[in-house]
Structure 1
Amino acid sequence: MNMEKINLLAVTHHSRKNINPIRPEAAQIIGLHKSGKVNVTVLCNPGSTLIPHLEKEGITVLTDPLDKKVSISTISYIKKLIKEKKIDILHLFNNIACSNGATAAIGTDTKVIAYRGQTGNVSRLDPSSYLVMLHPRLNKIICVAQAIEKDLRQFLWGDKSRATTVYKGHDQSWYQGPPATLDEFPLHQGSFKLSMVANLRPRKGLSVFMDALALLPDGLNIDVLLVGADPDNIKIQEMIERSTLKDRVHALGYREDAPEVAAASDVIVLPTTKREGLCRAVLEANSYGIPAIVSDTGGNAELVADGNTGIVVPPSDAQALAFAILKLYNDRDLCKEFGRKAKERAINKFNVEQGVSNTLEIYQSLINEN
């Protein structure tokens, strides 16, 4: 077995100001660095929110625009780094990194790993898929959930086991802040608060959520917090109208304290209709002891143990979602018990240590193939 340190080049891109979306990725890279088994170099875009966190840990960070799906200059730079740094593992964390990085690795002995975060958007008949998940140079594709692995395997040529699963790791120290103060919103005294934290693309299921609210009995004391929903957006306003609870549905817009908003809720709801990954918002809420109601899409059913840490409903089923909301509204003790167990599950199953350990095993298995 090769006992020398593994030379890793991780390629990624981040432009968001909010640290929450990058925490699991940064924690994994830092964990690999701290393991003492990996020499880590990171290539990211200039101004990436990753840079200060990685450099603080003594990790070598290099930059490239990483702004084109296929860039001759980026491909040449990555190929140069592979040669100069004798890279053993090239780990590619998004599509731009994948298309350029995997192409740069052609003709080298470097093992290439891609990251896969959600189901869908892969087809053997789509030429663009061969630049990313179906790129012939990929040795391994690390999926964030077993459902994503299963979905991807049906499209892979040859060795299906190239797709595997490693859960993103979260750290409880990230979730020690107090719940968000929501005094600026006209919330009702003692209300049961439902929150939805999402970018609110159509597939996130806001319309299903609003239809479910319209099916609830009259007179319930609830408030609904929509993080990511622009209160001035006409389509958002129209969907809120269909809830029949206009004065109880609050569009909060973009917020950097989304986890703390979830912490101020009783339940988080994610009624995605298709193409879900391992939803960060659910893990953030669970880490605060807040249970979730999710639809059975992507990795959601792996995050939530139905009937134990939360409730899983069929996708696009407003009636089932309404029943789930009413169940927890009527049984606050059960709701709190789900939250307690959800936090335990987040700590035990979705921690940083398991993510780093499982990734290291994949690295070593690829190195041992030589």
Structure 2
Amino acid sequence: MINVLAVTHHARENINPIRPEASQIIGLHKTGKVRVTALCNPNSPLIALFESHGIEVFTDKLNKKFSLTSIKKIKQLIKDRDIKILHLFNNIACCNGAMAAIGTDVKAIAYRGQTGNMSRIDPLSYLTLLHPRLDKIICVAKAVELELKTHLGRHKDKAVTVYKGHDSSWYQNPKADLSDLKLADGSFVISLVANLRPRKGLPVLMEALSLLPKDTNLDVLLVGADPSSPQIQALIESSGRVGRVHALGYRTDAPEVAAASDLTVLPTTKREGLCRAVLEANSYGIPAIVSDTGGNAELVKDGHSGIVVPPSKPQELADAIMKLYNDRELCALYGKNAKERAVNKFNVEQGVQATLYVYLSLV
């Protein structure tokens, strides 16, 4: 039996973003080969979930990237629970956990969820993923692994890929009710679900919409876009489709909103990982158009479960939208294939087994 300490920090009430991570931890505990102890922040929604599956949970604020209190707590748990694997699921956990591992025999594993924003000449990188005390770094996609290896020098073997697992049972809710939006009859509905940082490509999508024929009957749902933001409203105006592009703000039912669309898009310009929102839409049978950055091209099989376009190319994105707009049968086929791909390639079981393999290779 391998004793594992999983260190994770989440303050959101919405469980959707952290369901794959939680299910992986629970799945490992259920294998009978791993005994998981968890360290969470006191407000984490994971506490009750973990405890309901027999996982012992401790709490710490985990609110600073370098906290002597957190480091001491982790080090004490390593000693008291005879921890062999220290699994660190975010930057706060990584900074404190890697420091706590110093002077112990524990094997420390970090998580890497996207490409970019790292440099071998940046001292801060050595407090997280380039910390010399880390033994493995589990990457969310192969593209993330390959990019990380360019920073690891002679320690390239530290980086491995494990796809985050999703469960089809999570995606059985009814589609979101969009009746209040008064969408046009027969409208082709496109969703973009993202925390709309500039790199998520909203300007690219708005420019692509401006390139479509004026009589194209479509509506666009922007989940995560603040409707009161002047910048968002200016972008919507630039699309030439005011009244047909709807900023919905933050939604706890984002997967159900995507399920109510015909197509989801993610025109990220850089620094992508393996987008959860696309996997959620795919799990409901909704195909995706994504840009070829990070793990997107691993998530969507071009010409089979969706379309992959070059990043920051509005015309190519517009052409892809029109292809599926004009061929609804093809769009539906891509959606069917996307759902099968989500079930077969990105399920919880493969994530658990791949992670267990990493554990066994270290212990």
TM-score normalised by structure 1 residue count: 0.97
The letter for the 1-side match of 2:135 is N
The separation in 2 between residues aligned to 1:352 and 1:136, in whole angstroms, is 30
Match of 2:82 among 82, 86, 90: 86
Deviation of 1:229 (Å): 0.4
Identity fraction in percent: 70
Match of 1:139 among 118, 135, 149: 135
The letter for the 2-side match of 1:59 is I
Q: Runs in 1 of length 4+ with deviation above 4 angstroms?
A: none
Q: Match for residue 362 of structure 1?
A: 358
Q: Match for residue 12 of structure 1?
A: 8
| Equivalent position SS for 1:220 | coil
Deviation of 1:9 (Å): 0.1
The separation in 1 between residues aligned to 2:165 and 2:346, in whole angstroms, is 5
Q: Match for residue 67 of structure 1?
A: 63
CA-to-partner distance for each residue in 1:277-301, whole Å, 9 max, x for gaps? Answer: 1000000000000000000010000
- Does 1:207 pair with 2:203? yes
Q: Match for residue 311 of structure 2?
A: 315
The separation in 1 between residues aligned to 2:248 and 2:76, in whole angstroms, is 46
Q: Match for residue 41 of structure 1?
A: 37
| Equivalent position SS for 2:231 | helix
The separation in 2 between residues aligned to 1:17 and 1:318, in whole angstroms, is 36
Q: Match for residue 302 of structure 2?
A: 306
Match of 1:161 among 145, 151, 157: 157
Deviation of 1:157 (Å): 3.0
CA-to-partner distance for each residue in 1:208-262, whole Å, 9 max, x for gaps? Answer: 0000000001101100000000100000000000000011000011000000000
- Does 1:122 pair with 2:118? yes
CA-to-partner distance for each residue in 1:181-219, whole Å, 9 max, x for gaps? Answer: 011113111100000000100000000000000000110
Q: Match for residue 194 of structure 1?
A: 190
- Does 1:56 pair with 2:52? yes
| Equivalent position SS for 2:290 | strand
> Number of paired residues?
363
Where do 1:250-269 residues align within 5 Å? 250-269=246-265
Deviation of 1:121 (Å): 1.2
The separation in 2 between residues aligned to 1:216 and 1:58, in whole angstroms, is 54
- Does 1:341 pair with 2:332? no
Deviation of 1:158 (Å): 2.1
| Equivalent position SS for 1:235 | helix
TM-score normalised by structure 2 residue count: 0.99
CA-to-partner distance for each residue in 1:89-139, whole Å, 9 max, x for gaps? Answer: 000000000000011000111000000000011111100000001000000
The separation in 2 between residues aligned to 1:84 and 1:62, in whole angstroms, is 12
Structure 1, unaligned stretches of length 5 or more?
none
Deviation of 1:323 (Å): 0.1
Residues 52-61 or 283-292, more deviating: 52-61
Structure 2, unaligned stretches of length 5 or more?
none
The letter for the 2-side match of 1:35 is T
| Equivalent position SS for 1:7 | strand
Where do 1:203-242 residues align within 5 Å? 203-242=199-238
- Does 1:178 pair with 2:174? yes
Match of 1:23 among 9, 19, 23: 19
Deviation of 1:159 (Å): 2.0
The letter for the 2-side match of 1:217 is P
- Does 1:249 pair with 2:245? yes
Residues 61-70 or 50-59, more deviating: 50-59
The separation in 2 between residues aligned to 1:62 and 1:187, in whole angstroms, is 48
